[in-house]
Structure 1
Amino acid sequence: MAVAVNRDLTVQVLADANVVKLMDSKQALRAAVQKGEPKCLGVSQLMLGLLVMGYSIPLHLTEHTEVVWMGVPWWSGLSFVIAGVVSILLDKYCNMNHLYACLVTSVITTVIAIMAIIVYSVDIERNPATPCIKQMYDNCDDKHYATKLSKGVKSALLLFTLAQTTISGVLSFLLFRQRRSFQIYNPLNQDAISTQAVVSADGN
């Protein structure tokens, strides 16, 4: 905080140049982050997470395979929901701390989505739909319909997870680029805080 004394002995408090620069950087950061539309991507992540968990319910009514045993739709869907909520909050509370949190969450979600894709692919390969065995009235046996339903649901979950991987990867790239662009303002933030602390100590 700077103070100027006029000739008539009036005191004028001037704005600290560091604080002004910091405010400008925050506004620039908000504009840059909002340009990447983290809120829209966050809503997409949130909806995909809910879809994954909702679509996985029929799997519990069919033959249990690796996907159900490992609970893949639940922990992957929950990670998608958390990543979506954090991305939405970044749009509201746009600062470096939230940007770091959103970046870490997006990277972790991308890794989790890749793991889920591997499990879905292996499960679909190991558990194909059984051949149709004709019974009375030319209908197939129940096991054929159950395995066909299971494979269809897992294929849909695989597509949802692929979409989530793309969204999380794109968001991670955008946030990483913004972090590198505005990393220079971290020392500025610390200088502004230390300046305010010194002024407060002198005032006491």
Structure 2
Amino acid sequence: MAVTVSSDLSVNVSEDQVVKKLTDKQEVLKESLRKGEPKAMGICQVMVGFMVISYSIPLLSAEFTQLVWFGVPWWSGLTFVAAGTMALVMEKRNSIQLVLACLLITIVAAFISVLALVFYFVDLLKNPEHKCMENQTNLPENTCEQLYHGSVFSKDMKSILMCLTVVQTGISSAFSYMLYSERKRFIRYSLVN
């Protein structure tokens, strides 16, 4: 609020221009982010993250491979959940700092999902299905079938996790692009005002 007193002792109360510009900037940021629906993107990221984590639990009962030893499904899933949570927080409280933080963590989630895709692909190539041979007499009864079904189960679960990670890569990349373009537009708007 700006208060001015004229020579005839009348008092005029007017709106402060700095406060008005700040309010305008926050409203522009809020409206531009609502167009991008960060809440929907955040919920998708959180859901995919929890799906990756929950679908990777059965891998603990199968043969341990490098994928399980490195914990790829768990750290990639947690990164997706963190990126989605940041998007949900950003939707509630609009500020340029939260947009930048959300942009950073979403880019990290996209990078980690690409890295996880490489791990899944290499693991699927290095660990094919165990074929049962008729001349394997040194194994106990039904062991060969158990190994075969266990390796098929492991391969199928890793394929599902790989598909979910491809979805997460797409979501993170698209959301990163949206946040980056909003950040550029908001900075241009603040320079004009």
Q: Which amino acid aligns with 2:22?
A: L
Give 1:126 shift: 0.7
Give 1:119 shift: 0.2
Q: Which amino acid aligns with 1:50?
A: F
* Structure 2 residue aligned with 1:79: 79
What pairs with 1:23-172 in structure 2 (closer than 5 Å)?
23-133=23-133, 141-172=145-176
* Structure 2 residue aligned with 1:198: none
Give 1:12 shift: 2.6
Q: Secondary structure at the match of 1:183?
A: helix
Give 1:15 shift: 1.4
Question: Does 2:186 correspond to 1:179?
Answer: no
CA distance in 2, matches of 1:49, 1:151: 20
CA distance in 2, matches of 1:188, 1:12: 28
1:26-53 superposed Cα distances (whole Å, 9 cap, x missing partner):
1111111110011001000000010001
Q: TM-score with structure 2 length normalisation?
A: 0.90
Give 1:10 shift: 3.2
Q: Is the 8 A contact 2:25 2:190 kept in 1?
A: no
Q: Is the 8 A contact 1:43 1:84 kept in 2?
A: yes
Give 1:116 shift: 0.3
Give 1:3 shift: 2.4
Q: Secondary structure at the match of 2:30?
A: helix
CA distance in 2, matches of 1:169, 1:17: 38
Give 1:187 shift: 7.0
CA distance in 2, matches of 1:130, 1:49: 30
CA distance in 2, matches of 1:120, 1:2: 62
Percent sequence identity over aligned pairs: 40
* Structure 1 residue aligned with 2:139: none
Provide the aligned C-alpha RMSD in A.
2.3
Q: Secondary structure at the match of 1:162?
A: helix
Q: Is the 8 A contact 1:18 1:188 kept in 2?
A: no
Give 1:11 shift: 2.3
Give 1:2 shift: 3.0
CA distance in 1, matches of 2:5, 2:166: 64
Q: TM-score with structure 1 length normalisation?
A: 0.85
Contiguous gaps of at least 5 residues in structure 1: 190-204
CA distance in 2, matches of 1:103, 1:111: 12
* Structure 2 residue aligned with 1:12: 12
1:148-190 superposed Cα distances (whole Å, 9 cap, x missing partner):
000000000000001001000000000000101111466799x
